[in-house]
A and B are shown apart, each in its own frame.
Chain A
Amino acid sequence: MVPLSYYLVLSGFLFACGVAGFLIKRNVITIFMSIELMLNGVNLSFVAFAAHWQALAGQVFVFFVMVVAAAEAAVGLAIIIAVYRTRETLNVDQVNLLKL
């Protein structure tokens, strides 16, 4: 038997790592992966609460979160490719102008 709070602590730590990676990292792909880490942390708390309250809707929400993450990954990586094509860099510090 594992207390629900252990799951919440793990999920919160994953989310905190995602936030830290988002702020610290300078490579746009790694920043994107940090966002995925945050989504995973949220998913874990969804499933843990679903188990706690015996409510299956939590699992369906996880499914929707995954669909949105997949769509976001596809569009985001396409944007990264388009940015790289015009600027030849992945460093976010050097991508600071909307206009070329």
Chain B
Amino acid sequence: MNFHLILFLAFGAVCVGGAVNLLAQRHPINSALSLIAVMAALAGEYLLLGAEFVAAVQVIVYAGAIMVLFVFVIMLLNAGEEEHTHGSRVAILLGVPGMLTGSVLMAWVVLEHSGTESVAIGALPGHPTDIAQLLFHDFLLPFEVTSVLILIAIMGAVVLASKPESSARKAE
């Protein structure tokens, strides 16, 4: 058992534990915190694969910006514990065994039949210069389109989250 495998298993255990905890917790803030743990551990996995840029972006954008947004909304709306309804009990009864069967089946197929060789530690030549070359040269058009997408998302969020005009007038 080598060092690389131990690190992979440690980060993977945090990922799996966080994902299961997300399902088990009933208060959304606990789910959000376990999702942050999953994302941080995934950043460790990316580092093991040699993708330093993706690991940094994962921590900054995902675990930082997006999850802050989630925690902010949970606190803003004062979300409490979710109550179990009839539909959710049926979903748990059918969904959890279904998920377990699906993952075990998928794991068995991948482990038995894929026949892939090992990935060395830091296998990816993921120097930021090479990624910048790809991002700003080969994928320039998609990159610019994403900026339009972000702009539309910002405007949409502002329009949706702002108070409706009629009620704002009434408040005045």
Chain A residues engaging chain B, CB cutoff 8 angstroms: 1-10, 12-14, 16-21, 23-27, 29-30, 32-34, 36-37, 40, 43-44, 47-48, 50-52, 54, 56-57, 59-60, 62-64, 66-75, 77-82, 84, 90-91, 93
Q: Are B157 and A6 in contact (CB under 8 A)?
A: no
> Would you call B8 and A6 a contact (CB within 8 A)?
yes
Are A51 and B38 in contact (CB-based, < 8 A)? no
- CB-CB < 8 A to B77: which residues of A? 29, 80-81, 84, 90
B38 touches A37 (CB 8 A): yes
- Contacting pair B28 A29 (CB below 8 A): yes
Cβ B28 vs Cβ A27 within 8 A: yes
Closest to B81 in A: A27
Q: Which of A1, A13, A21, A63 contacts B120 (CB 8 A)?
A: A1
Q: How many residues does chain B have at the interface if contact means C-beta atoms less than 8 Å apart?
A: 87
Chain A residue contacts of B119, Cβ below 8 A: 1-4, 7, 48, 51-52
Q: Which residues of A contact B76 (CB under 8 A)?
A: 81
Could you tell me which B residues sit within 8 Å of A by CB distance?
2, 4-5, 8, 12, 15-16, 19-20, 22-23, 28, 31-32, 35, 38-39, 42, 45-46, 48-51, 53-54, 57-58, 61-62, 65-66, 69-70, 73-74, 76-77, 79, 82-85, 87-88, 91-92, 95-96, 98-99, 102-103, 106-107, 110-111, 114, 116-121, 123-126, 130-131, 134-135, 138-139, 142, 146, 149-150, 152-154, 156-161
A20–B96 contact, CB under 8 A?
Answer: yes
Q: For the complex formed, measure the closest distance between the CB of A83 and the CB atoms of chain B, giving whole angstroms.
A: 10
Taking a contact as CB atoms under 8 Å apart, the answer to whether B48 and A26 are in contact is: no
Q: Across the interface, do A47 and B54 meet the contact criterion of CB distance under 8 Å?
A: yes
User: A residues within 8 A CB of B65?
Assistant: 70
Chain B residues, Cβ within 8 Å of A63: 54, 57, 131, 135
Find chain A residues with CB under 8 A from B135 CB: 60, 63
- Closest-CB distance, B66 to chain A (whole angstroms): 5
- Asked if B62 contacts A33 (CB within 8 A), the reply is no
Could you list 9 examples of A-B contacts with CB < 8 Å?
Answer: A2-B118, A2-B119, A13-B16, A24-B23, A56-B130, A56-B131, A59-B54, A73-B70, A75-B160
With contacts A1-B119, A17-B19, A36-B66 taken as known, whether A43 is within 8 angstroms of B131 at the C-beta atoms is: no
Question: Which residues on the A side are within 8 Å of B139 (C-beta)?
Answer: 57, 60, 64
Q: Are A24 and B95 in contact (CB under 8 A)?
A: yes
Whether the Cβ atoms of B124 and A24 lie closer than 8 Å is no
